[in-house]
Every structure is written in structure tokens, then in C-alpha cells.
């Protein structure tokens, strides 16, 4: 009996010791930053531009070849790789408790025309690097892990929308910059747009989603900070704006007898800036396009088409700002003898990051000795769609000068490595919760 108890106690002690070693190993683990940056440089060779950028729109030949390269990296990371019916690339790693919902990390690799080498690509390859690091170090997660490369983020977060909301027939008929419809593009990538039900997931199917991304703004770079903890992705609200005046002869119509639509539009643009900047907060407003008709030297503009783009984390704040803009416009109408019409054309609701994931990201970064800042994302991401499905978080790294969607887009190798390590630490912490 004494010998049996001794053996049992010895086995328990050995088990506890191994668990302690495993925990210490996980707490000290780092990604291979050199390898991650080398992989990014290799990925940039699919659709390179002469000025150092990337031209890899979704559903293009360059996109397809880049996806094949990335799937090879995922297999090297010992992930089970598949393409779902929506054309998303899924790399799966089993967990020690397979009944748990998977934790998901990833991003996208498609680019805007003549874009940069980092937008989406950093998060995608860092997610693969995290998986490879776990495999090499023999670190087992409780949850299954899914590394996801979403298809066609730049054309409207198509892949993540398919998972979180589903794609409608209208969505599938949209013609993309590649010249293909979304339906044909999905087939081109190896998916099956006729089987959308197999892609759509419900709440509870995913335990959480974390995405690493360049900031696409200049805050972190300007303040010399290492990591941005994203508090949420702003809602984007857009209107087409029509200003109706009266076209007339530029030489014979006195100044006090005109109904100049362009003059009214100019005052409207100034009013948007005035209203948006007069309200406390971080909301932004933009008039990004304008056209005067008939567009002749000797004709007073009788009609102007313009736009309005308002963004904030608070939907109620956006509506309040829009109400103030409308009030200013009524005064412009009276002063200029014109009429304005606002036609809503697009709306995406704000997506707040999960508080627990935010805290985990911040703590993980600080344990690595990195300086953090909590800030909103003014651009849309796949994480915005995933927030409707599961707890979501985002990690930002600095982008030099805040430049994005441009060949001049740049994040340093050190920043990219920092981001990958924070992603790894965050994943390990979330897996233990």
C-alpha cells in the first residue's frame, strides 16, 4: 500500500511539474519575427507594382496565386487547410477540449488597386506565424484554433459577411473590380456559392475573434506608441446629396438674381466641416465627391451632385450631427434659392470590441514592455462583421505617417514582430479564460 501511494504521489508530482514547465514555456514564447517579415516580403511578390506596392484585387489571378502560397504556409504551420463554400481559407488546429468553440484569428490578403504591402497581409501572416510557433513549441490550446484568410475584404468584407450574416443573391451578383461577379469570383477561388448554408455560423459557434492590423491612421506613429487597443470600429453612414438650383446665362444674370447650385454646395461643404468640428468627440465628416451641371464656363450651375460620409462609434451621435447639418442646409436653401435632397445609400453600424478581449490585449502588450493606446478604428475590417457573431478584438500597430491603401504604406519589421507577439500572448490568455 505504501509503495502504491508513493507511485501515485510521484506521478502527480511529475504531472504538476510538466504542467508548470508547459505554463512557463507558454508565458515566455515568442514568434519568429524574422520569418514573419520574410513571409510578408514573399507575399508581396504576388501582384507587385513598380513603385513597391501591391495590386492584388480579389478574384484576380494574382489573388489566386497568393492564396496558394498562403495555403502552403498554413500547411507548414501544421494546420488542416480547407476552402469553405464562400471561398475563405480555413486553417484548423485541434484543441485539447474539442467540445469548446474555436478561437479564430486572421485577416485578408486581397488589396485595393495599387495598394500597399501591409493592409490585411500583416494580420493574415501573423496569424499563421502564431500557429506555427505553437506547433514548433508543442503548446496545446484548450480551444480549437482557426486561422482564417477572408476573401474579398476590400470589396465589401464579403468573406466575413458570408460567415457572420450570409450572402444574398444580390450580394452574389455584384460585379467586382476584377470584372467577375462575387458568385463567379467565389467559384474562381474554389468555393461553391450555391451552398451558402454551409458557411453561415451562429452565435456560440466561435468563442472569439482577434485581428491584427496596421492602424491606417497616424496616431500611434505620431505619439511613438507600440500597440493600439481598438475599442471598436466606427459606424459608416453615407448619403448622396443633390442640390437643385436654376441654370442660367453667366453673363446676363445679375448676382442677386441667381439660384446657383454650386454656391449652395460650397456653403454646404463648409457647414459639414463646421458642424462636425463643433461637437465634442471623435466623429468625422467628409464630402468626398462633387459634380456641377451642366459644367460649362458660361452657365450658372443649375444642379450639383455631392456626397456625405459620417462616422463615429456612437450611432446616436451620427444622427445628431446629421440633424445639425440638415438644420444648416435649410438656412442655405433660403439664402440661395436652392433645394437639397439627402438620399441614404449605405449604412454600417458601429461594432464595439469585447471588453474582456480589449483588456487581454492591453495586458498582453504591457507584459511585453510595449506602450499602448486605446483608440477607435475609422476604417472597416472583417472584425466588424465578426462582432455580430462572437466577442471581437483588434490589435493595431503603427503605420508610418498614417499612410494606407498606397504603395507608400509601411510598418517596420519591429512593429510587425511586436504585433505578432501581442497576438500570440492574447490568444494564449483567451484560451485559459
Average pLDDT, the chain: 93
Instruction: Write the DSSP assignment of 314-367 as a string of letters.
Output: -HHHHHHHHHHHHHHHHHHHHHHT-EEEEEEEEEE--EEPPHHHHHHHHHHHHH
Q: With a cut of 90, say whether residue 424 has pLDDT above it.
A: yes
DSSP letter at 59 equals: T
> What three-state secondary structure class fits 89?
strand
Q: With a cut of 50, say whether residue 3 has pLDDT above it.
A: no
pLDDT, residue 10, reads 44
The CA angle 88-92-96, to the nearest 5 degrees, is 155
Answer whether 371's CB lies under 8 Å from 335's CB: no
How would you classify the pairing of strands 89-93 and 145-150? antiparallel
pLDDT in tens, 38-75: 999 999 999 999 999 999 999 999 999 999 999 999 99
> What is the rounded average pLDDT of the residues 194-217?
93
Q: With a cut of 70, say whether residue 311 has pLDDT above it.
A: yes
How would you classify the pairing of strands 339-348 and 235-244? antiparallel
Residue 148, H or E segment? strand 145-150
- The Cα-based distances of 238 to 287, 297, 318, 420 in angstroms read 10, 31, 11, 34
> What is the rounded average pLDDT of the residues 293-321?
97
- The predicted model scores a pTM of 0.87
Rounded to an integer, what distance in angstroms lies between the CA atom of residue 141 and that of residue 129? 15
pLDDT, residue 28, reads 86
Q: Which of the four pLDDT bands, split at 50, 70 and 90, describes residue 347?
A: confident
| Core vs surface per residue 94-130: b (16+ CB within 10 A) or e | ebeeeeebbbbbbbbbbbbebbbbbbbbbbbbbbbbb
pLDDT in tens, 348-382: 889 999 999 999 999 999 999 999 999 999 998 99
pLDDT in tens, 6-39: 444 444 444 444 444 444 456 689 999 999 999 9
pLDDT, residue 342, reads 98
**Rg (alpha carbons) of the chain, rounded to whole number:** 26
Answer whether 164's CB lies under 8 Å from 386's CB: yes
- The Cα-based distances of 421 to 16, 106, 131 in angstroms read 27, 14, 12
Rounded to an integer, what distance in angstroms lies between the CA atom of residue 368 and that of residue 362? 10
DSSP letter at 140 equals: P
> What is the rounded average pLDDT of the residues 289-315?
97
pLDDT in tens, 226-269: 999 999 999 999 999 999 999 999 999 999 999 999 999 999 99
DSSP letter at 101 equals: P
pLDDT, residue 25, reads 52
How many residues would you count in the chain?
433
Instruction: Write the DSSP assignment of 197-257 as a string of letters.
Output: GGT---TTS-SEEEEEEE-SSSHHHHHT-SEEEEEEE-EEEEEEEEEE-B-EETTTS-GGG
Residue from 192, 195, 199 nearest 164 by CA = 199
Looking at per-residue confidence, does 198 or 2 come out higher? 198
Amino acid at each position: 500500500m505504501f509503495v502504491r501511494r508513493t507511485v501515485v504521489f510521484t506521478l502527480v508530482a511529475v504531472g504538476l511539474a510538466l504542467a508548470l514547465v508547459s505554463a512557463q514555456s507558454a508565458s515566455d514564447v515568442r514568434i519568429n519575427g524574422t520569418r514573419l517579415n520574410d513571409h510578408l516580403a514573399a507575399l508581396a511578390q504576388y501582384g507587385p507594382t513598380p513603385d513597391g506596392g501591391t495590386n492584388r484585387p480579389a478574384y484576380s489571378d494574382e489573388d489566386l496565386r497568393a492564396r496558394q502560397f498562403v495555403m502552403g504556409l498554413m500547411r507548414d504551420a501544421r494546420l488542416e487547410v480547407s476552402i469553405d463554400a464562400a471561398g475563405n481559407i480555413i486553417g484548423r488546429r485541434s484543441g485539447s477540449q474539442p467540445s469548446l468553440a474555436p478561437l479564430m484569428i486572421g485577416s485578408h490578403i486581397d488589396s485595393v488597386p495599387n495598394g500597399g504591402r501591409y493592409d490585411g497581409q500583416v494580420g493574415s501572416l501573423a496569424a499563421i506565424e502564431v500557429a506555427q510557433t505553437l506547433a514548433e513549441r508543442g503548446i496545446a490550446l484548450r480551444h480549437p484554433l482557426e486561422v482564417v484568410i477572408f476573401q474579398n475584404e476590400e470589396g465589401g468584407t464579403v468573406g466575413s459577411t458570408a460567415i457572420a450574416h450570409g450572402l444574398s443573391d444580390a450580394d452574389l451578383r455584384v460585379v467586382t473590380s476584377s470584372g467577375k461577379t462575387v458568385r463567379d469570383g467565389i467559384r474562381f477561388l474554389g468555393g461553391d456559392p450555391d451552398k451558402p448554408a454551409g458557411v453561415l455560423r451562429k452565435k456560440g459557434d466561435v468563442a472569439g475573434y482577434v485581428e491584427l492590423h496596421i492602424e491606417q491612421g497616424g496616431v500611434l506613429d505620431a505619439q511613438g506608441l507600440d500597440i493600439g487597443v481598438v475599442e471598436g470600429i466606427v459606424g459608416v453612414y453615407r448619403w448622396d446629396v443633390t442640390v437643385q438650383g436654376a441654370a442660367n446665362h453667366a453673363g446676363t444674370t445679375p448676382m442677386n438674381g441667381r439660384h446657383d447650385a454650386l454656391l449652395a454646395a460650397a456653403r454646404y461643404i463648409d457647414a459639414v466641416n463646421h458642424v462636425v468640428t463643433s461637437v465634442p468627440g471623435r466623429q468625422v465628416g467628409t464630402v468626398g465627391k462633387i459634380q456641377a451641371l451642366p459644367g460649362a464656363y458660361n452657365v450658372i450651375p443649375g444642379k450639383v451632385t455631392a456626397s456625405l460620409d459620417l462616422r463615429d462609434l456612437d450611432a446616436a451621435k451620427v444622427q445628431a450631427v446629421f440633424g445639425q447639418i440638415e438644420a444648416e442646409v435649410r438656412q442655405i436653401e433660403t439664402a440661395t434659392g436652392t433645394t437639397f435632397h439627402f438620399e441614404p445609400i449605405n449604412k454600417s453600424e458601429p461594432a464595439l470590441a469585447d471588453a474582456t478581449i480589449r483588456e487581454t490585449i492591453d495586458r498582453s502588450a504591457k507584459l511585453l514592455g510595449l506602450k499602448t493606446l486605446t483608440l477607435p478604428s475609422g476604417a472597416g475590417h472583417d472584425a466588424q462583421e465578426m462582432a455580430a457573431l462572437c466577442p471581437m478584438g483588434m490589435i493595431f500597430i503603427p503605420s508610418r505617417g498614417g499612410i494606407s491603401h498606397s504603395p507608400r504604406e509601411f510598418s517596420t519589421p519591429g512593429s510587425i514582430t511586436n504585433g505578432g507577439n501581442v497576438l500570440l500572448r492574447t490568444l494564449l490568455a483567451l484560451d485559459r479564460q
